[in-house]
Amino acid sequence: MSGTQPSFPNVTRDALIEQHVHYVRAVAYDIARKLPPSVELDDLIAYGNLGLVRAAEKYNPARGVSFVTFAHYYIKGAIWDEVRKMASFARMDGGRVRAEANATDFLHSLAEEEAGGATVGATLDDDIADARAQLESLIPIYLLSLDHKELAIADGNSLDFARALERDDLIGRMMRLVAQLPDEDRATIEALYFKGRSAADYAAELGLSRSWGSRLHARAIKRLREAMQRAGLLNAEESA
């Protein structure tokens, strides 16, 4: 028997696509609400449909993961990959849109690992630890996604001012840790967060698949999170 992934009849893939086109529209609508009015909903739906097709082609029901769960980040990832290419992407919503795009790519990689059986916890404590690590990984993703030139500082006596200073200090300490990462991880973060490339485009430059681009992203963020924990910037989980 060959080691290739089992294929499923075209009718099965077609049925999955037909049954979930409404879900693509819902995901696209949710993203559209966060984007400028100039971005057409129909375009986002078209991008999402490409992700739906890819998910239907890769889905293996034997893994025990529902198709909606499996397809979710394929759909969102396909939409964000195209939104990233828009000229206005770098100016969208002070970094929050960029943070969601980057978080989607990171979570897509984790979802693929879980669907492949690579991250199943042995106990409830393991599952809780995995969930906590995922949540903590979103902190550096958000901070890296901010446009530091646009950080709003209003009244020097305000609480917002104090919070902005605290955030700037955290970002500065995090960036020093980025500079200390292994070359490959540092290059990944620079490409995705400071040069505006998508994981798909970055992977293509390296001659890798889109999935590998997401894995490189997830690995770099994991190592940055661990470095931030060691430096006391995140609360490392206490050992039992």
Residues 148 and 237 in one domain: yes
110 and 205 inside one domain? yes
Let me know how long the chain is: 240
DSSP state of 237: P
Q: Does some domain include residue 205?
A: yes
Residues 113 and 215 in one domain: yes
Tens digits of residue pLDDT in 109-122: 877 776 655 544 55
Q: What is the pLDDT of residues 92-149, one digit of tens each?
A: 655 678 888 888 888 888 777 766 555 445 555 665 666 677 788 888 998 888 765 4
Its domain, for residue 2, covers 1-86
- Closest Cα partner for 134 from 83, 179, 73, 191? 73
Residue 34: what are its φ and ψ, rounded to 5°?
Answer: -95, -5
